[in-house]
């Protein structure tokens, strides 16, 4: 029996506008948390800030209580805060941030039933030249992926673009992870690989909304390990990582980034 492909839903222009309203809350949360990434602050402090800014914006969490089949327990916070060699999905703890840390902040929420998702990596004070290059390369991967998200292109085109800027740097792309569709739920079809072959995969049509999220590892390989809590994902070799993400709508006029501050 042939497997049915998961249904990929397309959004109207009004629905995309509604997701952009959610995206402006996501952008405000990430900006507030980035400003609070100073020595002595804790990931739990950032989680409290995110909760307050989200609530003030009229949005609700999609992280707290989220319990996918692979996770041992429901997620207990509104924010993921991953520090240094931890790449993604880390539960906020009480460990104080130190000068030179890299802090990856990942946040999604829902407003009026529509979700948006984004992430950013920020330094605590001054960081090494390699860490600065790692952040710049990961951000460049995201920019390239967004530019490739054109109507008539394919997910393979986007994956090839996402991984392209990493090839010249020697940084590795996290294995087995990537972006995703998004809409009424945080995670929806299609899966968006961070590495792809041009011309292959799903055709991009106006109305498709996807979250693009490259994650680069300084060690040059994409291998990873899970933290004991079953949520956090860390580099296998202890090298540092960076993570950037935006929610992007495919439109007839090209890609529209939805997780930006309100105009």
Whether residue 5 is contained in a domain is answered as no
* Of 140, 109, 132, the residue nearest 33 (C-alpha): 109
Whether residue 6 is contained in a domain is answered as no
Q: Is the pLDDT of residue 1 over 50?
A: no
Which residue(s) pair with 224 in the sheet?
A: 235
**From CA 62, how far away is CA 71, in angstroms rounded?**
15
Are 92 and 81 contacting, i.e. CB atoms less than 8 angstroms apart?
A: yes
41-81 confidence digits (pLDDT tens): 999 999 999 999 999 999 999 999 999 999 999 999 999 99
**91: CATH:** 3.90.230.10
Q: Is the pLDDT of residue 9 over 90?
A: yes
Whether residue 157 is contained in a domain is answered as yes
Q: In 66-221, which ranges are E strands?
A: 80-83, 86-88, 102-111, 114-123, 172-173, 178-181, 188-193, 209-212, 215-217
Whether residue 112 is contained in a domain is answered as yes
131-169 confidence digits (pLDDT tens): 999 999 999 999 999 999 999 999 999 999 999 998 889
**pLDDT of 233:** 97
Phi and psi at 244, nearest 5°, equal -130, 145
**pLDDT of 116:** 98
Whether residue 8 is contained in a domain is answered as no
Whether residue 3 is contained in a domain is answered as no
Confidence band of 192 (pLDDT split at 50, 70, 90): very high
**pLDDT of 130:** 95
Give the domain extent around 198. 13-257
Average of pLDDT values for 8-32?
Answer: 98
Query: Domain tally for the chain?
Result: 1
Whether residue 7 is contained in a domain is answered as no
The model carries a pTM of: 0.96
Are 19 and 209 contacting, i.e. CB atoms less than 8 angstroms apart?
A: yes
């Amino acid at each position: 029996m042939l497997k049915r492909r998961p249904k990929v839903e397309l959004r109207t222009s009004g629905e995309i506008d509604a997701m952009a309203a959610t995206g402006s809350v996501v952008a405000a949360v990430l900006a507030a948390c980035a400003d609070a990434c100073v020595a002595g602050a804790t990931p739990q402090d950032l989680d409290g800030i995110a909760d307050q800014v989200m609530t003030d914006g009229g949005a609700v969490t999609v992280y707290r209580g989220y319990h996918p089949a692979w996770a041992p327990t429901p997620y207990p916070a509104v924010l993921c805060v991953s520090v240094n060699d931890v790449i993604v999905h880390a539960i906020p703890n009480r460990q104080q941030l130190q000068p030179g840390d890299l802090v990856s902040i990942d946040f999604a929420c829902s407003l009026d039933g529509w979700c948006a998702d984004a992430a950013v990596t920020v330094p605590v004070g001054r960081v090494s030249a390699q860490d600065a290059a790692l952040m710049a390369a990961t951000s460049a991967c995201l920019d390239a992926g967004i530019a490739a998200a054109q109507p008539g292109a394919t997910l393979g085109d986007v994956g090839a673009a996402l991984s392209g800027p990493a090839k010249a740097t020697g940084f590795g792309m996290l294995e087995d992870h990537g972006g995703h569709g998004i809409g009424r739920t945080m995670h929806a079809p299609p899966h968006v690989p961070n590495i792809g072959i041009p011309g292959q995969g799903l055709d991009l049509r106006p109305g498709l909304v996807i979250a693009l999220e490259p994650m680069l590892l300084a060690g040059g390989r994409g291998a990873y390990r899970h933290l004991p809590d079953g949520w956090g994902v860390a580099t296998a070799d202890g090298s540092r990582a960076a993570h950037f993400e935006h929610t992007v709508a495919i439109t007839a006029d090209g890609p529209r980034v939805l997780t930006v501050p309100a105009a």
